[in-house]
Amino acid sequence: MSLSINEVSITQLLVPVTGNCLADSVGQQLADAIQLGLFVKGAQLPSESVLAGQFGVSTLTLREALAALRNRGLVETRRGRNGGSFVCGPAPAAAARLRARLRELSSVELRDLGDEWTAVAGTTAKLAAWRASDDQIDRLRSLADDLSASKSITARTRANSRFAIELALAAQSERLTRAEVRLQGEAGELLWTPLPHSLQADEVAADLHRIVDAVADEDAELSRTLAETRTRRNMRFLIGAHLELTAR
C-alpha cells in the first residue's frame, strides 16, 4: 500500500515517552510534527485520550503539553460540540534562534548526529529503491521541486524534511520513518541557518532529484550512495557553521 505523509497513521509518527519531563517530551514531538508540516495548518489534532494513549501518558500530562503549545502559538483550543485542539501552523524560523541552537551544539554531538543520520538516510534510500510506488516517486519529485522554488527558511525546511520522511515511507519501514521524523525535528531546520556560506536550496534539490532518479531506476546501491553523500554534505555544513559561530 502506498502511503503519503498526509495519509500515514499517527502511530507511525509519534512514539511513547519515558523518563522525566514527560510533558516536555510530548510537546516537543508535537511541535516538531507541526513545524515539519506533518500536521497542516487548520488540522484538528487527535482527541486528548487518543494522543495520551499514543504517548503512554496521562491526559493531565497531555493537557500540560498542549498548554505549552498554545503558549507558543502552535495550536489553539476550541470549545463546544466541534471543539478540540487545532493547528495554527509552524512558527516562522528566526535566524538568531537557529544560530544560537547551532552554536550550543558541540562538534562531537554533530558528528554523532551525522553518523546516525547518514545510516538512516542510506538505508531508507536503498529500501525505497526496492519498494517505492510510482505515486511515491511522483511525490518525491514534487517535493524536490518545492525545495528548488522555496524562498524562506520555513519553506525550505518543510520541503527538504518532508522529502526525507516521504522517502522513509516509501521504504515501508515504520522504524525508519520514526527515526527520520525525530532527526528532522532535531536538526532539519538547522540546515537552513542563514550564514555567508549557507546551503543552496537549488543545489540540494538537484541532489534530491538524483536520488529520486536512482530510486525510480530501482538502483538500490546508487540510491544509498547518493543519499549518504547528500547527508554528509549537510553535516559538513552544520559542523563548519558551528565552528564559524563559536569562533566569533
**CA dihedral (185, 186, 191, 192) positive or negative:** positive
Do 126 and 217 reside in the same domain of the chain?
yes
Residue 68 in this model has a pLDDT that exceeds 90: yes
The pLDDT-based confidence of 34 (bands split at 50, 70, 90) is: confident
Do 64 and 137 reside in the same domain of the chain?
no
The pLDDT-based confidence of 2 (bands split at 50, 70, 90) is: very low
What pLDDT shows up at residue 1? Answer: 42
Condensed to tens digits (0 to 9), the pLDDT of residues 176-228 reads 998 999 999 899 999 999 988 899 999 999 999 999 999 999 999 999 999 99
Do 129 and 240 reside in the same domain of the chain?
yes
> Mean pLDDT, to the nearest integer, of 131-153?
95
The pLDDT-based confidence of 12 (bands split at 50, 70, 90) is: low
What pLDDT shows up at residue 216? Answer: 98
Task: Tell me what the pLDDT averaged over the chain comes to.
Answer: 90
Do 146 and 238 reside in the same domain of the chain?
yes
- 203 or 48: which leads in pLDDT: 203
Do 107 and 15 reside in the same domain of the chain?
no
Number of CB atoms found within 10 A of residue 221's CB: 12
> Mean pLDDT, to the nearest integer, of 2-30?
72
Range of the domain at 209: 95-246
Q: Where do the DSSP E strands lie in 49-145?
A: 75-78, 84-87
* Distance between CA atoms of residues 77 and 93, nearest Å: 23
Do 121 and 178 reside in the same domain of the chain?
yes
C-alpha cell at 172: 515501508
> Mean pLDDT, to the nearest integer, of 18-46?
85
Of the listed ranges 27-31, 60-64, 86-90, 208-212, the least confidently predicted one is: 86-90
Condensed to tens digits (0 to 9), the pLDDT of residues 174-190 reads 899 989 999 998 999 99
* Distance between CA atoms of residues 132 and 129, nearest Å: 6
Of the listed ranges 7-16, 125-134, 137-146, 180-189, the least confidently predicted one is: 7-16
> Mean pLDDT, to the nearest integer, of 103-117?
95
The residue from 58, 87, 116 where one domain ends is 87
Q: What proportion of the chain, given as a percentage, has pLDDT over 90?
A: 62
Residue 147 in this model has a pLDDT that exceeds 50: yes
Core vs surface per residue 151-174: b (16+ CB within 10 A) or e: eebbbbbbbbbbbbbbbbbbbbbe
Closest to 163 (Cα-Cα) out of 201, 218, 195, 119: 201
What pLDDT shows up at residue 5? Answer: 53
Count CA atoms within 13 Å of residue 243 on its CB side: 11
Residue 5 lies in a domain: no
The enclosing domain of 32 has a CATH number of 1.10.10.10
Domain total in the chain = 2
The residue from 66, 87, 108 where one domain ends is 87
The pLDDT-based confidence of 46 (bands split at 50, 70, 90) is: confident
Do 21 and 116 reside in the same domain of the chain?
no
